[in-house]
């Protein structure tokens, strides 16, 4: 199975120097994750962010407890960082976070390439919908934290059924 490509953009009415540090703290991921995932960071504080940093989490996906280990593959503050799953529910999870100053605020862009265990059918039945719900919750929380009134959200989308249909996903 080729990887599925998910993209999301959100403009926040705050400068990048305020927005990026929020994302730079692994603890804030708990704030951005829906309660139904029962998300918990297991790595003790402080968690210094740098290429090669490992962060362990515990989540529940459809009631099933799972451990997830993320590696920070790229770290370029305040412009971008990339996290990849080293252990968890996916055979591939590659998440690029990018931050660009735009119109007096910050354009936040997420690009996720993922491949769930169980292949395309599991993606179609569960995973794609779950990823969309997680990012919708995240968008709502970010707008509440950084100023909903002035922010414009661009709806996240899954680009095609998979990268195979439109283009190969480079990872």
Q: Give a yes or no: residue 137 inside a domain.
A: yes
**pLDDT band, residue 144 (cuts 50/70/90):** very high
Quote the pLDDT of residue 10.
Answer: 97
Quick one: DSSP state of residue 140?
H
Residue 149: the pLDDT is 57
Per-residue pLDDT, averaged over 132-150, amounts to 89
Q: Which residue, among 61, 64, 81, has the nearest Cα to 72 in the 3D structure?
A: 81
Q: What is the pLDDT of residue 168?
A: 38
CATH code of 89's domain: 3.30.530.20
- Give the residue among 110, 132, 153 at the shortest CA–CA distance from 12: 153
pLDDT-based confidence at residue 171 (cuts at 50, 70, 90):
very low
Which pLDDT tens digit goes with each residue over 76-103? 999 999 999 999 999 999 999 999 999 9
Task: Answer yes or no: is 64 within a domain.
Answer: no
**pLDDT score, position 151:** 45
pLDDT tens profile 17-37: 999 999 999 999 999 999 999
Residue 159: inside a domain: yes
On the question of pLDDT at 50 being above 80, the answer is: yes
Q: Does some domain include residue 106?
A: yes
The count of structural domains within the chain is 1
Q: For the beta carbon of residue 32, count every other beta carbon within 10 angstroms.
A: 18
Does residue 113 fall inside a structural domain?
Answer: yes
52 occurs within a structural domain: no
Q: Does any domain span residue 20?
A: yes
Length of the chain equals 171
Of 27, 28, 33, give the one whose Cα is nearest residue 46. 27
- By residue range, what is the domain housing residue 149? 4-36+74-166
DSSP 76-138: ETTTEEEEEEEESSEEEEEEEEEEEEETTEEEEEEEEEEEETTHHHHIIIIIHHHHHHHHHHH
Name the percent of the chain lying above pLDDT 70.
Answer: 86
Quick check: is 57 in a domain?
Answer: no
| All residues at 6 or more sequence positions from 87 whose CB lies less than 8 Å from its CB, including other chains | 67, 68, 69
**Band of residue 150 on the pLDDT scale cut at 50, 70, 90:** very low
pLDDT of residue 147: 82
């Amino acid at each position: 199975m080729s990887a599925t490509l998910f993209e999301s953009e959100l403009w926040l009415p705050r400068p990048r120097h305020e927005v990026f540090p929020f994302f730079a703290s692994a603890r804030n991921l708990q704030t951005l994750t829906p309660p139904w995932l029962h998300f918990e960071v297991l790595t003790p504080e402080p968690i210094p962010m740098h290429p090669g940093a490992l962060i362990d989490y515990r989540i529940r996906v459809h009631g099933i407890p799972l451990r997830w280990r993320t590696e920070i593959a790229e770290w370029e503050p305040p412009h971008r960082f990339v996290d990849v799953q080293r252990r968890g529910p996916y055979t591939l999870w590659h998440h690029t976070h990018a931050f660009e100053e735009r119109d007096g605020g910050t354009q936040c862009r997420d690009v996720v390439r993922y491949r769930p265990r169980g292949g395309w059918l599991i993606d179609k039945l569960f995973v794609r919908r779950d990823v969309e719900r997680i990012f919708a919750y995240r968008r709502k929380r970010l707008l509440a934290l950084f100023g909903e009134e002035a922010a414009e959200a661009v709806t996240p989308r899954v680009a095609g059924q998979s990268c195979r249909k439109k283009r190969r996903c480079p990872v």
